[in-house]
Each structure stands twice: as C-alpha cells, then as structure tokens.
Amino acid sequence: MTIERMLVTYEFEQWLYREAKLIDDIDFDGWFSLMHPTLKYQMPVRVNKEGTERPDYALDMFAFDDDIELLKIRVDRLKTDYAWAEIPPSRTRRLVNNVRLLDYVPNEKAVVNSYLLIYRSRSTDIHHDLISGERQDEFIYENGEWKLSKRFFIVDQTTINTRNLAIFV
C-alpha cells in the first residue's frame, strides 16, 4: 500500500467516524449535510439460500430505498413532535471498522466498504438490540468535501431483531 492510499484510507475512516458521531448524537441535520444530492440509500432484504449461491439478498425489495428527497422526509419527521418511535430517542453507538478503500480518484470519487455494528438501547429496557452488517459506500468530491452518494447496507439478519428501523444504518 502506498503512503497516499494509507492517507486516503485514514481520511475516509475519519469521515465514517464523524458520521457515526453525528447520528449517535442525534444531530440529524448535521448528518444529512454529509449527503450528496444524487444519493441512493438502500438496505436490501437478506434471505436464506440453500447453499452458497450469492448474492443472498434481494435485488427487488429493501428495508430502505431512499433518494435524497425521501431521506429528507425521514429527517424532517424526526423533528416533528409526533415521531413516537424515537421519543425519547434511542441511545445508539455505531462502531465502524474494517474500512477498505476499493476505488479512488483524487478530488473526484471513491468507493469505500466497511463493517458496521449498531448498539441500540431504548428507555429503561436493559436489553439492547444489535444490528450488524456491511456498508458499501460511494463518495463524490464536491466543493472541497466528500459527500456520500451511495450507501448499500447488507444486514446480517434475515429477520431483523429490532422493533423498527427508526434509526439510520
């Protein structure tokens, strides 16, 4: 690995850590400002296959399938007084690791894959939910900043063990 590639990988690690911090701190506007207008934000339904056939997720059904406008609706909704699913908000901790730079064109675009583990705790419940999966992200460089233009989150459960996805992945 070249020094340049190491530095770029570090840069995207920091980008993902900062993103995690913004949503864990329920700063949804701050989080939303990281998105590129051409965003595609998807989470396919994972399925059980007989053997090792891949992909083992659906190509035509998703738990999230948002563009920038739909994601904005979700963010706006969380700011109304009626978004009961997150009143009070869940305590979440997004742990990002295994960050790998797959493609990179300086000042233009990048493809970055990473692993994500979300810890979610609600109210007084001592039980927590864990959501684990892989993120396949794409970035576009615009006005001196990297913006997220695509997120494809492959969750590790076929039956999701959390009461809803009122939180972001």
Partner 1 sequence: MYKTNINLEEMSQKEAIEFLHETVQPEIGSIPAYLLGDPTIYDLEHKRVFLKTWIFIGHESEIPNKNDFITRDVAGYSVILSRSADNQIRGLYNMCTHRGMKLCRADAGNKSSFTCPYHGFNFKNNGDCVGVPLQKDIYGESLDKSQMGLHKIRVESYKGLIFGTWNDEAESLDAFLGEFKWYIDIFAGRAEMEVVGPPQRFVIQSNWKIGADNFVGDSYHTMVTHGSIAKLGMVPSATYSKRGYQIHTTNGHGLNLGTPNPDFAFPEELKDEYKANLSEDQYEVLSNLKNMIGNIFPNLSFLISHTKIKGQLISNTSMRIWRPIAADKMEVITWFLVEKNASVDWKKRSRESFILTFSPSGIFEQDDTEVFTDITAAASGTMPLVKQLTFNYTMGLHRKPVTSFVGPGVVYDDKFTEANQRNFYRYWLDLMTN
Residues near partner 1 (CB under 8 A) are 43, 45, 47-50, 58-66, 69-70, 73-74, 76-77, 80-86, 158-166
* Bridging pattern class, strands 145-155 and 128-142: antiparallel
> Using CA atoms, how far apart are residues 160 and 8, in angstroms rounded to an integer?
34
Q: How far is the CB of 23 from partner 1 (least distance, A)?
A: 14
62 vs 115, beta carbon nearer partner 1: 62
| Cβ 4 to partner 1 shortest distance, Å | 38
Helix (H) or strand (E) holding 109: strand 109-121
What DSSP designation does 20 have? Answer: H
Left, alpha or beta for 96 (phi > 0: left; psi -120 to 50: alpha)?
beta
Compare residues 29 and 76 and give the one whose CB is closer to partner 1: 76
- CA–CA gap between residue 96 and residue 98 (Å, rounded): 7
Residue whose CB is less far from partner 1, 13 or 133? 133
Shortest Å, Cβ 11 to partner 1: 30
Token couple for 131: 């959501």
- For partner 1, the closer CB: 53 or 107: 53
- Work out how close the CB of 56 gets to partner 1 at its nearest, in angstroms, rounded to a whole number: 10
